[in-house]
Homo-oligomer: A and B are copies of this chain.
Amino acid sequence: LESGDPVAAGERVADLHPAEIAHLLESLPAADREPAWEVIRDRFHADVLSYLNDDLRAELLHRLSPEELVEAAQQLDIDDLADVLPDMPDAAIQAVLNSLDDQRRSRLDTALAYPEDSAGGLMNLDAVTVRGNITVDVVLRYLRRLGDLPDATDTLFVVSREGRYLGHLPLSELVTAEPGLTVAEVMRRDLDGIPGETPAHDVAKRFEHRDLISAPVVDTDGTLLGRITIDDVVDVIRDEGEHSFLSMAGVQDEEDMFAPVRASARRRVIWLGLNMVAAFVAARVIGLFEASLQQAVALAVLMPVVASMGGIAGNQTLALVIRGLALDQIGPGNTLKLLRKEITVGLVNGLGLSVLIAGVAWAWFGDPALGGVIALALIINLFMAAVAGTLIPLLLRRLGGDPALGGGMLLMTVTDVTGFGVFLGLATLLLL
């Protein structure tokens, strides 16, 4: 796309959905973003901003002039503007706020009152509402006058005179109901209002369990504030999956693929630095057995095998437990049973593999006792791996942290220390 001439590229971009343009920009190496940006600048669609990852969005917001940002702000839905606004340069924020009329300004304040990852932060302010005392026929005429309905409008929200949420009227119900019935008679009450401060994770669970398309958001008085639509929930679910995946590997989830080297290096060095500390702890344990290592160099050759097997087995348990926590399937009622099951799996695999490992060690160094020691050390380390893999994420969660973040590194520290320590310790006791 970028190898052709800019005009043709501009025309092709004009045909794309804003989400697709955002996807394209995210895929571009940093150096190619400048020309691509110039290509789309003139025909810029403000909605692209709401689809970009945080990194890239902040970058683009700083390239636009305050005038351009004011113009973009006018095109954006208020809820999208509320997401974008905090990333703008300070001068632009003031200019944008001044440019809003009173109604948009007050709706923006409502949207900004809730954190980004809460029901209030996810909601749109475009809910179509009706009153309970009018007839289906009047609703149909009202909608015909309205013309276009907002995207993902599968249901209308029924509110009282004071704006309290009372129930909802699905379009599919509306088109099949008798025209003479009142809204109150045909509306459904099977959908509770979601309080604005509900965490995004719980909102997503509700949508998934009930197969919702849209749902009402209410404040503490039950007043309808807005609605959440499935497309925003899909983003939450996608982000949650990425978050566990990336943070277990020690990468920030909003990291842009072509983030500047300095930013990437700074973010990742934190984990590398912590790992360095952990690795020196393990090295310190090895150092305790310097005399043994000097007597039998085979120990130095074999010790990483025991540590690495523990790391892999522990990671399997860790991933299963982190997934279970993310799906809210682990609680006080089943933790002990899960621990017991993971330990049993660890011991079964430890017993099986220890025979193989003992055989290889015996054949390699011609010492059956060395085989016995490494087998025993492996079984003990797989036991520790199961315990640590189960308990570390639970402890991190209990301490108020994210069970995926840093869990892998803590686990690796446990399995390395156990692997090196038990193998060298047993060898010192039994062989030397």
Q: Which chain A residues have a beta carbon within 8 Å of chain B's beta carbons?
A: 17, 19-20, 23, 26-31, 140, 143-144, 146-149, 151-154, 171-172, 174-178, 207-211, 213, 230-231, 233-234, 237-238, 240-242, 244-246, 248-251, 255, 257-258, 261-262, 264-265, 268-269, 271-273, 275-276, 278-280, 282-283, 286-287, 290, 293-294, 297, 300-305, 307-309, 312-313, 315-316, 318-320, 322-324, 327-331, 334, 337-338, 341, 344-345, 348-349, 352-353, 356-357, 360, 364, 409, 412, 416, 420
Contacts and interface: CB of A to CB of B under 8 A. Distances in A.
A364 to B, nearest CB: 8
Q: Give 9 closest A-B pairs by Cβ, nearest first.
A: A241-B241, A249-B319, A29-B337, A149-B172, A300-B300, A27-B329, A211-B231, A279-B305, A171-B171
Contact of A286 (B207, B272, B301, B331): B301
Contacts of A208: 19, 231, 234, 238
5 contacts: A154-B154, A230-B230, A261-B344, A276-B305, A312-B409
A304 B316 contact: no
Contacts of A353: 269, 272-273, 276
A312 B409 CA distance: 8
A282 B246 CA distance: 27
A330 B258 CA distance: 11
Nearest to A307: B304
Given A176-B143, A268-B345, A416-B304, A31 B337 contact: yes
B213 A213 contact: yes
Contact of A323 (B154, B246, B268): B246
B172 A153 contact: yes
B261 A283 contact: no
Contacts of A268: 313, 316, 345, 349
A309 B276 contact: yes
Contact of A293 (B237, B293, B304): B293
Which of A140, A248, A275, A345 is the most central at the interface, judged by chain B CB atoms within 10 Å of its CB? A345
A237 B236 CA distance: 11
B265 A348 contact: yes
A169 B237 CA distance: 29
A153 B173 CA distance: 11
Contacts of A27: 324, 329-331, 334
Contacts of A318: 249
Contacts of A320: 246, 251, 255, 257
Given A257-B324, A283-B301, A302-B283, A334 B272 contact: no
Nearest to A284: B301
B341 A29 contact: yes
A280 B257 contact: no
Contact of A271 (B171, B242, B312): B312
Contacts of A20: 209
Contacts of A286: 300-301, 304
Contacts of A328: 23
A171 B49 CA distance: 29
A151 B294 contact: no
Nearest to A265: B348
A319 B251 contact: yes
Given A29-B334, A29-B337, A208-B234, 5 more contacts: A154-B171, A171-B171, A257-B324, A261-B341, A265-B349
A404 to B, nearest CB: 9
A176 B149 contact: yes
A213 B178 CA distance: 26
A403 to B, nearest CB: 12
A209 B312 contact: no
A411 B147 CA distance: 57
Contacts of A315: 249-250
